[in-house]
A and B are shown apart, each in its own frame.
Chain A
Amino acid sequence: MAAAGAGRLRRAASALLLPAPRLPARELSAPARLYHKKVVDHYENPRNVGSLDKTSKNVGTGLVGAPACGDVMKLQIQVDEKGKIVDAKFKTFGCGSAIASSSLATEWVKGKTVEEALTIKNTDIAKELCLPPVKLHCSMLAEDAIKAALADYKLKQEPKKGEAEKT
């Protein structure tokens, strides 16, 4: 009888006693801002931060966002003669999620052709980085940056074609 009571008490105690608080690995519904380790990794181990030569014909530059909004991304791609993206660099003024989104974007475009890069969707970026709903706009801006860089590259190729046609 006493043993049963003690058992019940112990169970009640363990139910009440909070486990050692550990930060959950993923919080999608909670409003708390959690720096997911994937996001932090892009800042602590940066890859592809930098600039390419803006004036080069093979480089496309996309600059999206606005300082007044707290988000500016510059994404540059270098494309070879076969239309494959061989290098990509980025610089971002924005929160951790924005930095990670643009960093991931440069990783993903490398090795893709210009057409393939157009298929990169913001939802894929958000899923890979486990972005909470309030940070989805960061991934959208990264997608915009890719598209802007590709558009700039295409624009640079146009006069060449026009010149070829003329001659």
Chain B
Amino acid sequence: MLLRTASRRVASAVLVTPVPRAKAPTRGLRLRVVDHASQSAVPPDAVTAPEAESVLRPLYMDVQATTPLDPRVLDAMLPYLVNYYGNPHSRTHAYGWESEAAMERARQQVASLIGADPREIIFTSGATESNNIAIKELEAAIRPDTSLVSVMTVNNEIGVKQPIAEIGRICSSKKVYFHTDAAQAVGKIPLDVNDMKIDLMSISGHKIYGPKGVGAIYIRRRPRVRVEALQSGGGQERGMRSGTVPTPLVVGLGAACEVAQQEMEYDHRRISKLAERLIQKIMQSLPDVVMNGDPEHHYPGCINLSFAYVEGESLLMALKDVALSSGSACTSASLEPSYVLRAIGTDEDLAHSSIRFGIGRFTTEEEVDYTVEKCIHHVKRLREMSPLWEMVQDGIDLKSIKWTQH
């Protein structure tokens, strides 16, 4: 009885109702169903597979190759795909804390099954990777004539865009390999690996509204770029990355990329407008606010502001119903402020006062207005509590004070 109900639940969960391609992002349930009948080269039986649930299929006797998902496992995963989507390494808000709590609960479950201490369990992308970690070689074979330039396309902290096309041109003329980490750029700004002469590119799924745990690497074929496989095993992915490819995850990555291609221009226009609105409103209402990063070569969706005389983490605590991030030392495990801000020459006290606002495809104008209003209110309040603000109001030059070190 219970088993039959379980299988019915699986069937209903798997059934995909084809929906016409949504024009604007919808609030509430953030699942986007991509109608893959239209453009992709996917063979027709893939489209009709859900309907085939009702038709007789073979008994499955190949559990050594793979196993179906237990419905109770799906139940456990689903909330973390729909609602509790925080990054477990985000230290500054509830989304991150609840994700981290779930990760640690899972670690305990794995450990108790094999009688181990949870501290002895490390998560990976799969067993093949785990095998490789276990027997990893420390020396990689590097030929003397190999050299590589690696640059981020869009910086994740301040949103600055690097001049990728120029760097590509220089590398190509000097016969040097060019790699770029495009995690924050793919699907947000136009990229072309041939125009920009990119040899290697890293792509992340969960940065472009796709699932976590999956990413991709672009490796140029003409002229051929040879890479050394990090993990060996069954030779999957042309021998460059062995390990079972996780179908649900890569389906998600592919759909995310297709959607991003369709929505890129609209998203960029909308996000630019919202970013402009946020910055203008804040700068007009508060003095002594600095935007970190070149304002011209900048991706609009990543705004990093320093509010002088107010410490970043205290502002995050005050803005408790908005999930934000800060470059302040207090929010990092090492108590060191952001290395990015230090690299662009930001004063240390302003580095402690920085907040990063992220605007995305699903951010609404109401959310921006609410955040701006709360931000202005709490910055004013925290400045009233700040001895530095008081000194500046009294006309004291903070740089002239001899501070105590402890």
Residues of A within 8 A of B (CB): 2, 6, 9, 12-13, 16-18, 21, 23-24, 30-35, 39-40, 43, 46, 49, 51, 63-74, 91-99, 134, 137, 140-141, 144, 148
Interface string of B281-314 (1 = CB under 8 A from A): 0000000000000000000000000000111111
Task: Tell me, yes or no, whether B180 is within 8 Å of chain A by CB.
Answer: no
State in angstroms the CA–CA spacing of A67 and B388 once bound together.
Answer: 8
How distant is B351 from chain A, measured CB to nearest CB, in Å?
8
**Binding site secondary structure of chain A:** mixed
State in angstroms the CA–CA spacing of A40 and B320 once bound together.
Answer: 10
State in angstroms the CA–CA spacing of A144 and B92 once bound together.
Answer: 27
State in angstroms the CA–CA spacing of A33 and B164 once bound together.
Answer: 36
Asked if B403 and A35 sit within 8 Å, CB to CB, the answer is no
Using a Cβ–Cβ cut-off of 8 Å, how many residues does chain B contribute to the interface with A? 50
Asked if A95 and B386 sit within 8 Å, CB to CB, the answer is no
Task: Tell me, yes or no, whether B102 is within 8 Å of chain A by CB.
Answer: yes
Q: CB < 8 Å: which of B94, B317, B348 contacts A67?
A: B348
Asked if A17 and B91 sit within 8 Å, CB to CB, the answer is no
Asked if A30 and B100 sit within 8 Å, CB to CB, the answer is yes
Task: Tell me, yes or no, whether B385 is within 8 Å of chain A by CB.
Answer: yes
In the A-B complex, list the 9 residue pairs whose CB atoms are closest, starting with the nearest.
A67-B349, A70-B352, A66-B403, A95-B313, A96-B317, A74-B387, A95-B330, A68-B348, A91-B387
Asked if A67 and B331 sit within 8 Å, CB to CB, the answer is no
How distant is A7 from chain B, measured CB to nearest CB, in Å?
10
User: Which of B54-62, B69-77, B181-189 has 4 or more CB atoms under 8 Å from chain A?
Assistant: B69-77
Residues of chain B within 8 A of A96, CB atoms compared: 313-314, 317
Asked if A134 and B333 sit within 8 Å, CB to CB, the answer is yes
A selection of 30 A-B contacts at a CB cut-off of 8 Å is A12-B72, A13-B72, A16-B73, A16-B75, A16-B76, A17-B75, A18-B79, A23-B94, A23-B97, A30-B100, A30-B101, A30-B104, A32-B100, A34-B97, A43-B314, A43-B317, A67-B348, A68-B403, A69-B348, A70-B328, A70-B348, A72-B388, A74-B387, A91-B385, A91-B386, A95-B311, A95-B313, A95-B317, A98-B311, A144-B404
Asked if B311 and A70 sit within 8 Å, CB to CB, the answer is yes
Asked if B2 and A21 sit within 8 Å, CB to CB, the answer is no
With contacts A17-B75, A43-B314 taken as known, whether A32 is within 8 angstroms of B385 at the C-beta atoms is: no
State in angstroms the CA–CA spacing of A46 and B314 once bound together.
Answer: 13
Please name the residue on chain A nearest to B3 by beta carbon. A9
Asked if B406 and A141 sit within 8 Å, CB to CB, the answer is yes
Asked if B72 and A65 sit within 8 Å, CB to CB, the answer is no
Interface string of B361-403 (1 = CB under 8 A from A): 0000000000000000000000011111110000000100001
Asked if B386 and A64 sit within 8 Å, CB to CB, the answer is no
How distant is B387 from chain A, measured CB to nearest CB, in Å?
4
Interface string of B85-109 (1 = CB under 8 A from A): 0000001101011101110110000
Asked if A46 and B385 sit within 8 Å, CB to CB, the answer is yes
State in angstroms the CA–CA spacing of A144 and B352 once bound together.
Answer: 21
Residues of B within 8 A of A (CB): 1-2, 72-73, 75-76, 79, 84, 91-92, 94, 96-98, 100-102, 104-105, 309-314, 317-318, 320, 328-331, 333, 335, 337, 348-349, 352, 384-390, 398, 403-406
Asked if B333 and A43 sit within 8 Å, CB to CB, the answer is no
Asked if A9 and B2 sit within 8 Å, CB to CB, the answer is yes
Please name the residue on chain A nearest to B100 by beta carbon. A32
State in angstroms the CA–CA spacing of A31 and B333 once bound together.
Answer: 8
With contacts A16-B76, A70-B337 taken as known, whether A65 is within 8 angstroms of B309 at the C-beta atoms is: no
Residues of chain B within 8 A of A13, CB atoms compared: 72
Asked if B403 and A18 sit within 8 Å, CB to CB, the answer is no
State in angstroms the CA–CA spacing of A137 and B330 once bound together.
Answer: 11
With contacts A43-B318, A70-B328, A96-B313 taken as known, whether A21 is within 8 angstroms of B98 at the C-beta atoms is: yes
Residues of chain B within 8 A of A74, CB atoms compared: 387, 390
Residues of chain A within 8 A of B328, CB atoms compared: 70, 95
Asked if A33 and B311 sit within 8 Å, CB to CB, the answer is no
How distant is A108 from chain B, measured CB to nearest CB, in Å?
18
State in angstroms the CA–CA spacing of A28 and B330 once bound together.
Answer: 17
Please name the residue on chain A nearest to B93 by beta carbon. A33
State in angstroms the CA–CA spacing of A151 and B349 once bound together.
Answer: 27
Asked if A70 and B105 sit within 8 Å, CB to CB, the answer is no
Asked if A33 and B91 sit within 8 Å, CB to CB, the answer is yes
State in angstroms the CA–CA spacing of A65 and B349 once bound together.
Answer: 12
Asked if B387 and A92 sit within 8 Å, CB to CB, the answer is yes
Most buried by B among A13, A18, A99, A141: A18
How distant is A73 from chain B, measured CB to nearest CB, in Å?
7
State in angstroms the CA–CA spacing of A24 and B75 once bound together.
Answer: 23
Asked if B349 and A68 sit within 8 Å, CB to CB, the answer is yes
Asked if A32 and B97 sit within 8 Å, CB to CB, the answer is yes
State in angstroms the CA–CA spacing of A33 and B313 once bound together.
Answer: 10
Asked if B406 and A140 sit within 8 Å, CB to CB, the answer is yes
Q: CB < 8 Å: which of A12, A33, A72 contacts B403?
A: A72
Residues of chain A within 8 A of B2, CB atoms compared: 6, 9
